[in-house]
Structure 1
Amino acid sequence: MPSAYIIANVTVTNPAQYEDYIKWSSAAMRAHGAEVCVRGGKVEVLEGDWTPDRLVILKFPGIDAAKAFDASPEYGKARAARQGAAIMRMVVVEGV
C-alpha cells in the first residue's frame, strides 16, 4: 500500500492561541503515528507564484490512516483550538 501525506499551508492569525493548536495537534500526531516531515521552517519559492506561509507535511502509512487522523477526536480537539487562530488549507495525497 502506498504511503500518504497530509500537506498543509497555514496562515497563523493569532500566534498565542495557535500554541494551543500545536499542543493538541502534536498529541494527535503521536496518537496516530504520523511522521512529521516538515513543520514550519524556512520556505523558498523556486518557481511559480505560490507563497506559502507555514508548511506542514505529515506522512502516514496510507490514505485511510491519514483520513482517520483528520477525523479523529484527538485532532478534533486541535481543530477546535485553532478556530480564530489560523487559516488552514490542507490536502491528502497518495505517495509512492
Structure 2
Amino acid sequence: MSTTPAYALITVKITDSEAFKAYMAAAPASIAACGGEYLVRGGAFETVEGDWNPARITVLRFPSMERAKAWYHGDAYTQARGFRAGATEYFNVTLVEGYAPV
C-alpha cells in the first residue's frame, strides 16, 4: 500500500440547504472511517487566476489513494451520497495523489 497521501477535491453548488444537512451530518463519519480528514470545508475563497468559480470547495486528505477510493466507493459514503440527492446543482469529486518528494 502506498504511503503517499491522497486528496479529494470537491466542488458543489447547494440548491437545497435544508436537504443538504442530512448529507453533511452523515459524510464526516465515512471520511474518518477511512483515515480521512477535512482540510477545507466551505470556507471563503478567491479565484486569483482563470475563470474557475465553484460555489463551494471542500478538500479532504487521506493516508493513500487506496484509502480515498475505499471512502468514495464504501457503503457509508454511498449512503451519505443518497442524502444529497436533489439538493445540489452539481457535486464534483476528484481524487488526486499527493506529492511525495524522492
Give the TM-score category using the shorter length.
over 0.9
**What does 1:16-95 correspond to in 2, within 5 Å?**
16-86=18-88, 87-95=90-98
Structure with greater Cα Rg: 2
Unaligned runs of 5+ in 1: none
Please list the CA deviations of residues 4-48 of structure 1 after superposition, one character each: whole Å capped at 9, or x if unmatched: 000000110110000000001012112222111001010101100
TM-score normalised per structure 1: 0.95
After TM superposition, the runs of 4+ consecutive aligned structure 1 residues lying more than 2 A away are none
Unaligned runs of 5+ in 2: none
AA partner of residue 34 (structure 1)? G
> 1:8 aligned to 7, 10, 13, which one?
10
Distance 1:62 1:34 in 2: 9
Deviation at 1:59, TM superposition (A): 0.3
Distance 1:14 1:34 in 2: 26
TM-score normalised per structure 2: 0.90
AA partner of residue 5 (structure 2)? S
Distance 1:32 1:85 in 2: 25
Three-state SS of the structure 2 residue aligned to 1:56 is strand
Deviation at 1:2, TM superposition (A): 1.3
RMSD: 0.8
Distance 2:20 2:27 in 1: 10
Moved more, 80-89 or 27-36: 27-36
Distance 1:92 1:19 in 2: 23
